[in-house]
Amino acid sequence: MGRNPLVMIIDEDPIFRQELQGMLTPARLAVVADCGYGVEAASLAEELKPDLILASIEEPVARAIQTIEAVRGIRPGAPVIAYSSSTELHLVRQAMHAGVRDLLAHPFKVGELLTAIEAVMRSASLPGEAAPQPQAAGTILTVFGAKGGIGKTTITTNIATAIARDTDSSVLVMDLDTRFGDVAIMLDIDPAVTVAEMAGQVATLDRASFKAALVEHESGVFVLPSPKHPNDWRQVQADDIKELARFASRMFDYVILDTPGAFNDVVGAALEVATQVLVVTSVDMASIKDTSFILDVLESEGFPDDRLFLTVNHPNGANTIRAADIERVLRKKVFWEIPHDAQMTMATQIGLPVVLARPKSRAASNLAGLAGKITGRDAPARESKGFLRRLIPAGSRN
Ligand SMILES: Nc1ncnc2c1ncn2[C@@H]1O[C@H](COP(=O)(O)OP(=O)(O)O)[C@@H](O)[C@H]1O
Ligand SMILES: [Mg+2]
């Protein structure tokens, strides 16, 4: 199983960094970090773990070389392609000694860059890691939880909308709620073909007919709704759901799977194919107890813990349980916390994600921050950080 290589750009010129990002987009290379020379580059490399570094070598050359060396120290397996307007021998030698794999003369053409990337990525196989492949599949994000009414569908539709709005990424939501598929209602769209019908044809499905079956929401998010009647799920094979999600992930950068508040074979399939799972819990005792149970079940089944991201939601205003207590009970760090916000309920009622209906609201900026954290593009929303800091005493999250 491969994934798209994550790219980091190091260049003092923010405008060229932007231009370079544009060159990489059609090749489905995700730029996770861009910055100038200096320590920020090293800390970003540590935090965001890029698979490939593109670095300019311009004056001050010593600082450029130092930066490349620092980043190489942190990500030794990630090849560095550098570019420079100078081709002087001493610079080429310095670049070579710093571990640069290829040096392009700046300015260069997109084709030259992509050829260089392909060449270095082909030979860059990190020990213990699968070599990333440029044409690999997108992220499959499963939004999962032990109960209904805890905000799974709200989170699904808002994250999808925020990713479509804030990035160039393509997004598909597949509604796998086998009981009450609410995605179509929450986005106020008219379902045409459903996920059940598509799953039935997955063996013979081609890209064009799949795309034609999808509904495009005004936000740019594509949707594959669930059947209106729960009985229509009866013929659906869990394996076909897995295959359908994987098929979709070869066409969309993000495939987001909404699930019911239950454990069944379709949910099992949604967990198995996921590259990341948001485990949603609300803060009432029953929800925390149920979440504890499903985390135990997943652990005993050998489900990789690093794919599970605990997301605490406050669908109700009144509660006294603190995030620190939740972490203690569930023995798992809280990845994200969503505050209670009446605007969220209001948005649900008018059939719009709150990130569109009330973009300035607390809930909207929080959910956009969550989407940013998932895509690795934005800093987490300031408000959410503060919110967590107030709830969790210092030192208790280690
Ligand atoms: N943080 C929140 N603040 C206010 N209302 C919320 C919040 N999260 C969810 N809700 C509301 O709770 C209700 C149930 O959410 P929903 O997403 O349908 O849950 P699920 O998919 O888990 O069944 C919706 O009306 C939604 O607007
Ligand atoms: Mg739901």
DSSP 167-236: SS--EEEEE--SS---HHHHTT----S-HHHHHHTGGG--HHHHHHHSEEPTTS-EEEPPPSSGGGGTT-
- Best residue among 345, 346, 361, 384 to mutate for probing ligand 1's pocket (most ligand atoms within 8 Å of CB) is 345
Identify the structural domains of the chain with CATH numbers, from first to last.
6-123 (3.40.50.2300), 139-391 (3.40.50.300)
Distance (angstroms) between ligand 1 centre and the Cα of 28 equals: 33
Bigger pLDDT: 7 or 88? 7
Residues with CB under 6 A from ligand 1: 145, 148-154, 182, 261, 313-315, 338, 340-341, 344-345, 348, 363
pLDDT of 234 above 80: yes
Nearest CA to ligand 1 atom 7: 315
Cis-peptide into 225, omega within 30 deg:
no
Ligand 1, atom nearest to 339 Cα:
1
CA distance 52 to 175: 34
List residues, by chain if needed, whose CB lies under 5 Å from ion ligand 2.
Answer: 152-153, 182
Distance (angstroms) between ligand 2 centre and the Cα of 133 equals: 34
238-249 and 265-273 helices, crossing angle to 10°: 30
- Best residue among 154, 178, 287, 345 to mutate for probing ligand 1's pocket (most ligand atoms within 8 Å of CB) is 154
Average pLDDT over residues 265-274: 94
Q: Tell me the per-residue pLDDT of 109-150, one tens digit each, with 9 for 90 and over.
A: 998 999 899 888 887 654 444 444 333 467 899 999 999 999
CA distance 8 to 113: 14
Q: Which pLDDT does position 221 carry in this prediction?
A: 95
CA distance 107 to 138: 31
Distance (angstroms) between ligand 1 centre and the Cα of 315 equals: 5
Q: Which pLDDT does position 377 carry in this prediction?
A: 67
Q: How far is CA 256 from CA 46, 165, 184, 209, in A?
A: 27, 15, 14, 20
178: number of CA atoms within 13 Å, CB side?
19
Q: Which pLDDT does position 252 carry in this prediction?
A: 86
Q: Which pLDDT does position 124 carry in this prediction?
A: 67
Q: What is the mean pLDDT of the chain?
A: 87
* Burial (0-12, 13-18, 19+ Cβ within 10 Å), 192: middle
Q: Which pLDDT does position 2 carry in this prediction?
A: 53
Q: Tell me the per-residue pLDDT of 319-335, one tens digit each, with 9 for 90 and over.
A: 678 888 899 999 999 99
By 3-state DSSP, what share of the chain in percent is helix, strand and coil, each rounded to 5? 45, 15, 35
